[in-house]
Amino acid sequence: MTKRAAVIGAGLAGLSCARTLRRAGFFVEVFEQERMIGGRMATTRLGTDTFDHGSQYVTARSREFKAYLEEVAGLGYAARWNPRAQLNGEEGAGQMLPWYVGTPGMASLVRPLAESVRIHTGRKVHTVDRKDKGWHVWFEDETSVGPFHAVAATVPAAQARLLLGRFDEIAQPLGRVRMMPCWALMVRLEDKILPDQDVFSDMSEVIRWIARNNTKPGRSPRGESIVIHASPSWSRESEDAEPEMIAEELWGEVSHVLGLPPVRPVHMTAYLWRHGLVDQSLGETFIYSSDHKVGVAGDWCLGRLAEHAFESGNRLGKAIIESLS
């Protein structure tokens, strides 16, 4: 009989888990609350411009993730990015490893993982429960699907606790994890007014990162599309502020630290990643209860990088396969 698995969350962890399960012959359904897949590997369109307002680039240390990036690049969904930069006094952004970006946007990096998997977007999972025949996934409109033999929740730690907090073996370790918010600002300028560099990092207590998004391969070179990330501590202090006010404050700070002329952007949009960056990780690759056939995965299990999400999801998938074989 074909094994059925439900994956909650269509970020890198969820989709890498889904692909591992799919390749082992499982029937997999992925439930994603947003309209788009990719999670924090995100690309948004404002007018005619696209912005990567979450993850900026990815690097690979493990053999598996290197192989995956080569596969994605071979399909035309990723390319190397060599931004002009001077970070920590080193030319070339201090790149120890090659930087890859999705093309035409970061969200493209997950596309090959989504093939042959049934993905339902705009489906926020409210709860999961287990009856005699297996797991059922419930949504906010009180409809449900199931039964599934196993469930993988690949959502940020705080959301995993909401879904699975009643399982002690999952809830307790989840309590160790801390994630920080990050305000992202997307700015469109008519003219090129930034100094002659493509990325700037740790510019002040407020500004963590500035990138000329349009210098990434496959983006429109017209004008300037800039992505700014605030520091986690400033983002935490300003978590409840209005996005319009955040946009003004961050742009004022960027103008100040880069010494820009007083120019009004054509467009500015601020977005809060409420569970954006991992501050304290779990220190384990995933959590899985083989008694209950339910587990959790995400970048926060191992670290704060896309590669951690990929590995965590893949390894949870393998644990599910093993427990059901």
Contacting positions for ligand FAD (CB under 6 A): 8-14, 31-34, 39-41, 54-58, 124-125, 154-156, 159, 182, 184, 229, 273, 276-277, 298-299, 304-306, 309
| Torsions phi, psi for 181 (to 5 deg) | -75, 165
Specify the residue, 48 or 121, whose C-beta has the smaller distance to ligand FAD. 121
Specify the residue, 8 or 226, whose C-beta has the smaller distance to ligand FAD. 8
Strands 118-120 and 27-31: parallel
Specify the residue, 8 or 270, whose C-beta has the smaller distance to ligand FAD. 8
Q: Which residues have C-beta within 8 Å of that of residue 89, sequence separation ≥ 6?
A: none
Strands 178-189 and 199-201: unpaired
Minimum distance between the CB of residue 262 and ligand FAD, rounded to whole angstroms?
27
DSSP string, 152-186: EE-S-HHHHHHHHTT-HHHHHHHTT-EEEEEEEEE
Distance between CA atoms of 76 and 73, rounded to whole angstroms? Answer: 5
Minimum distance between the CB of residue 305 and ligand FAD, rounded to whole angstroms?
4
Q: How many other C-beta atoms are found inside a 10 Å radius of the C-beta of residue 237?
A: 13
Specify the residue, 53 or 188, whose C-beta has the smaller distance to ligand FAD. 53
For 5, the token pair is 């698995």
Minimum distance between the CB of residue 56 and ligand FAD, rounded to whole angstroms?
4
Minimum distance between the CB of residue 84 and ligand FAD, rounded to whole angstroms?
17
Specify the residue, 35 or 264, whose C-beta has the smaller distance to ligand FAD. 35
Minimum distance between the CB of residue 1 and ligand FAD, rounded to whole angstroms?
27
